[in-house]
């Protein structure tokens, strides 16, 4: 009797489940893997698949269809896909690649599909946004008028950036490109800018160094790190900048300000070339596919300053590109220079001479930021770039041992003090008030008789005494970006006090 009751209860539960189950016919598109290897797969039997649609293989691996043919389609794998074999099943999902976005990503290190890489809890996302989104239209944008301070004097004074700008950081390998980007992130610790760093094909040790530097010196709780490291699949590396841009757009569309670092797009283009050749796309110049320009143009166009009607948020992009032996005319560098609003060129010669950051002022330009520059710096740096360029030309002649007149000698001495002011160590961005004070000291000629050997002592003394003795003046400059005559006089008095006790004369 007990057995009969148990059987009856089981039948009743099974009948209830069957009544609730959705037993209507469903259409599934199932194809077959023809070839797989090196991060790509060729698939047949999916005639209704759309471009950029996600595919799911029988081992759970996701792929992205980026080439559609008459009988076959080519897709890139978003993970290693070790379990995929020729002849295996694959089906279309009807969806596109998405990434989780929201405040839950702040302070986290994630993969391009939103999986945590920092050993923390699963990401609590507000929603999942497409990694590919159209750029804002012209009517949705506003003029770039707000400054984005990097804390790097040579950039803020001569190559200023604005919120919503796209500024390329370009230079040879090991010239300080990533360090420049890290300093910019660290300088946002006291601002309202949220930073998103995209590591594309970078070594794990490099990514760890970046995260550690921001954790020690910056505001980690307002940063997101999207990592497609060198040991990740090529598809994940390709997806990384688009996923990072979607995460940054979430904050921009809420009326906030975001900074996106893309490190670096040269590796991204190389990865795309590899995938395209494996998918048998026709090669073009330097074996890159014909749409490599569009690859980066559609990404960087998403950086913008939105109008007040659209929330007033901004997304500033700092893409990084690597050159070979300083060749700015190579295919990818010229593409990126034409897409962006200016470039910061880091020269190996300056780097090896010890001038860091090694910014070549003559070959660097900001096509937007001059309109956003803080008034305090603009009043001091009007002719700074020209004076510095003239000094560099004059200094070349002195290396040949030629005689120079007294006026030229003074210009060279003045330029060397300026160059010393523009140098600064890594992970130590300067507040606007200190930058203004240093530039004021150079502009007024207060440092022309100061030996270069004691310049570090002067800078250290000034950095310590400015916030202690003139806190209101420093705060006024940092908050308003303006320099009144009263504050100017106070700063000059402090500069002269800091100079007292230092050696007045010495040979250069």
Catalytic residues: 367
Distance CA 465, CA 323 (A): 41
Those residues whose C-beta lies under 8 Å from the C-beta of residue 258, and which sit 6 or more positions away, are 193, 194, 195, 196, 248, 249, 251, 252, 313, 314, 315, 316
Distance CA 421, CA 435 (A): 9
Measured in whole angstroms, the distance separating CA 368 from the mean position of its chain's CA atoms is: 18
Distance CA 400, CA 430 (A): 36
DSSP letter assigned to residue 50: P
Those residues whose C-beta lies under 8 Å from the C-beta of residue 280, and which sit 6 or more positions away, are 74
Distance CA 194, CA 185 (A): 9
Evaluate the CA torsion angle 211, 265, 316, 105 in order and state its sign: negative
Q: Decide if 90 contacts 72 (C-beta within 8 A).
A: no
Q: Decide if 170 contacts 153 (C-beta within 8 A).
A: no
- Is the omega angle on the peptide bond into residue 264 within 30 degrees of 0, that is, cis? yes
3-class SS letters over 444-473: CCCCCCCCHHHHHHHHHHHHHHHHHHCHHH
Evaluate the CA torsion angle 491, 493, 494, 498 in order and state its sign: positive
DSSP letter assigned to residue 76: E
Name the helix (H) or strand (E) containing 276.
Answer: helix 265-278
Distance set, CA 149 to CA 202, 248, 259, 400 (Å): 26, 18, 11, 39
């Amino acid at each position: 009797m007990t057995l009969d009751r148990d059987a009856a209860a089981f039948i009743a539960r099974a009948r209830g489940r069957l009544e609730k189950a959705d037993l209507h016919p469903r259409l599934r598109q199932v194809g077959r893997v023809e070839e797989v290897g090196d991060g790509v797969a060729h698939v047949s039997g999916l005639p209704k698949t759309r471009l950029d649609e996600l595919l799911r293989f029988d081992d759970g691996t996701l792929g992205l269809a980026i080439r559609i043919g008459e009988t076959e389609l080519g897709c890139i794998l978003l993970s290693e896909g070790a379990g995929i074999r020729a002849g295996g099943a694959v089906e279309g999902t009807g969806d596109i690649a998405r990434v989780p976005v929201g405040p839950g990503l702040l302070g986290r290190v994630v993969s391009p599909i939103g999986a945590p890489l920092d050993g923390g809890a699963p990401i609590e996302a507000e929603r999942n946004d497409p990694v590919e989104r159209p750029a804002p239209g012209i009517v949705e944008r506003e003029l770039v008028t707000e400054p984005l301070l990097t804390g790097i004097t040579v950039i803020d004074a001569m190559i200023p950036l604005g919120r919503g700008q796209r500024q390329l950081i370009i230079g040879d390998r090991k010239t300080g490109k990533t360090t420049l980007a890290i300093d910019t992130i660290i300088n946002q610790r006291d601002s309202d800018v949220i930073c998103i760093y995209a590591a594309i094909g970078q070594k794990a040790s490099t990514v760890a160094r970046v995260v550690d530097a921001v954790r020690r010196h910056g505001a980690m709780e307002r940063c997101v790190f999207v990592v497609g490291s060198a040991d990740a699949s090529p598809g994940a590396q390709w997806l990384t900048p688009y996923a990072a841009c979607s995460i940054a757009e979430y904050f921009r569309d809420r009326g906030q300000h975001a900074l996106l670092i893309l490190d670096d797009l040269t590796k991204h283009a190389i990865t795309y070339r590899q995938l395209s050749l494996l998918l048998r796309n026709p090669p073009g110049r330097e074996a890159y596919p014909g749409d490599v320009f569009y690859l980066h143009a559609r990404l960087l166009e998403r950086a913008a300053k939105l109008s007040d009607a659209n929330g007033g948020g901004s997304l500033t992009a700092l893409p990084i590109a690597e050159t070979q032996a300083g060749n700015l005319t190579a295919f990818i560098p010229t593409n990126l220079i034409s897409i962006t609003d200016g470039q910061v060129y880091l020269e190996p010669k300056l780097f090896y001479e010890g001038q860091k950051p090694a910014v070549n002022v003559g070959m660097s330009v900001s096509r937007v930021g001059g309109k956003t520059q803080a008034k305090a710096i603009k009043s001091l740096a009007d002719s700074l770039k020209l004076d510095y360029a003239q000094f560099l030309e004059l200094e070349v002649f002195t290396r040949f041992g030629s005689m120079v007149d007294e006026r030229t000698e003074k210009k060279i001495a003045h330029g060397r003090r300026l160059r010393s002011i523009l140098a600064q160590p890594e992970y130590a961005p300067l507040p606007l008030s200190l930058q203004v004070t240093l530039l004021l000291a150079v502009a007024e000629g207060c440092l022309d008789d100061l030996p270069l050997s004691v310049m570090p002592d002067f800078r250290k003394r000034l950095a310590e005494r400015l916030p202690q003795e003139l806190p209101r003046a420093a705060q006024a400059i940092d908050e308003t970006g303006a320099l009144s005559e009263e504050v100017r006089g106070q700063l000059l008095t402090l500069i002269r006090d800091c100079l007292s006790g230092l050696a007045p004369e010495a040979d250069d």
